């Protein structure tokens, strides 16, 4: 089964043809998609997509860019929304010090609230991190010491040291279309060192379209190109890459029933 572990189907880029995008994904062999919540105020739209399709599931959370929307966000708010049907993860959440679209201290505080919600619900935490390696590693280690939680380092392109620290906490990692970019040698080096049983794939659509679609709007239908690059980098067969990423996905998002073989 091809699985796209990170789509943003509620994004305005899909407003005019969301149904066609979903249909193209299925035609490309995508059997399951996880549509991601970028802020709590978007949750109803995100959740409605999941509820309308048997093969789409959802998360609840606030991206670091949007942390300023609700700086007093409570873990109970996230946990209550996570109790809704088909919600299987907390996030996308984390730290992004590249754009600083929310104050850094607000990002950190809101991120810790998400960790608490993940710990309390038992749902995996979907982590976004950019140019914040030291603080991200510190928060993950401090919070893990308070009580374990499952986590996914989504679209991972940060440093090798943070990758090692996260892997030591049992993190999963997702590979995106960036792996196909000509200049992404450092990202491919990271992929070679990721735990073999904890790698999944994603498009992060509508962003980060893989080669040969780079520069266009990304779609879940392009996930085979990312899986193919992962297979190449790890020196796996395509079938092995598909099986490994499928196994890793269902081990992480264990609230999703796994279809019978």
pLDDT digits (tens, 9 = 90+) for 110-164: 999 999 999 999 999 999 999 999 999 999 999 999 999 999 999 999 999 999 9
Q: What is the pLDDT of residue 259?
A: 86
| Radius of gyration of the chain, Cα coordinates, nearest whole angstrom | 17
Whether the predicted pLDDT of 261 surpasses 80 = no
User: Strand (E) positions, the chain?
Assistant: 2-7, 30-35, 56-60, 87-96, 125-130, 151-153, 172-175, 199-201
Mean pLDDT, the chain, whole residue set? 98
Query: Omega into 206 within 30° of 0, i.e. cis?
Result: yes
Q: What is the pLDDT of residue 161?
A: 98
Q: Is the pTM of this model over 0.85?
A: yes
Overall average pLDDT of the 219-246 stretch: 98
Q: Please check whether residue 223 is in contact with residue 4, taking contact to mean a CB–CB distance below 8 angstroms.
A: yes
Q: What is the largest CA-CA distance in the chain?
A: 47
Q: Please check whether residue 167 is in contact with residue 195, taking contact to mean a CB–CB distance below 8 angstroms.
A: yes
Q: What is the pLDDT of residue 117?
A: 98
Q: What is the pLDDT of residue 107?
A: 98
Whether the predicted pLDDT of 41 surpasses 80 = yes
Overall average pLDDT of the 46-55 stretch: 98
Measured distance CA(240)–CA(225) in Å, rounded = 15
Query: Which domains does the chain possess?
Result: 2-252 (3.20.20.140)
Tokens of 80: 């209550």
**Helix 238-252 crosses helix 223-234 at what angle (to 10 degrees)?**
110
Conformational region of residue 173, where left means phi above 0, alpha means psi within -120 to 50, and beta covers everything else: beta
- How would residue 5 be classed by pLDDT, with cut points 50, 70 and 90? very high
Overall average pLDDT of the 12-35 stretch: 98
- How would residue 260 be classed by pLDDT, with cut points 50, 70 and 90? confident
Overall average pLDDT of the 160-177 stretch: 98
């Amino acid at each position: 089964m091809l699985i796209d572990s990170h789509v943003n189907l509620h994004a305005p880029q899909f407003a005019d043809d969301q149904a066609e995008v979903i249909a193209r994904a299925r035609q490309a062999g995508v059997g399951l998609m996880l549509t991601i919540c970028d802020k709590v105020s978007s949750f109803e739209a995100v959740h409605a997509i999941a509820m309308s399709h048997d093969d789409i599931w959802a998360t609840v959370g606030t991206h670091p860019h949007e942390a300023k929307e609700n700086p007093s966000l409570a873990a109970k708010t996230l946990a209550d929304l996570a109790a809704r049907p088909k919600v299987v993860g907390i996030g996308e959440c984390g730290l992004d010090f590249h754009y600083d679209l929310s104050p850094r201290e607000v990002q950190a505080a809101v991120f810790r609230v998400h960790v608490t919600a993940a710990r309390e619900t038992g749902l995996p935490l979907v982590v976004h991190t950019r140019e914040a390696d030291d603080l991200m590693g510190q928060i993950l280690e401090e919070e893990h010491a308070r009580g374990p939680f499952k986590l996914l380092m989504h679209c991972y392109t940060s440093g090798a040291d943070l990758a090692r620290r996260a892997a030591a906490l049992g993190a999963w990692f997702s590979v995106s279309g960036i792996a196909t970019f000509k200049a992404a040698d450092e990202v491919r080096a990271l992929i070679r060192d990721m735990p073999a049983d904890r790698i999944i794939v994603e498009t992060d659509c509508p962003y980060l379209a893989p080669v040969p679609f780079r520069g266009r709007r990304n779609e879940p239908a392009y996930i085979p190109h990312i899986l193919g690059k992962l297979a190449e980098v790890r020196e796996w067969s395509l079938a092995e890459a598909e099986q490994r990423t499928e196994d890793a996905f269902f081990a992480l998002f264990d609230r999703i029933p796994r279809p019978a073989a």
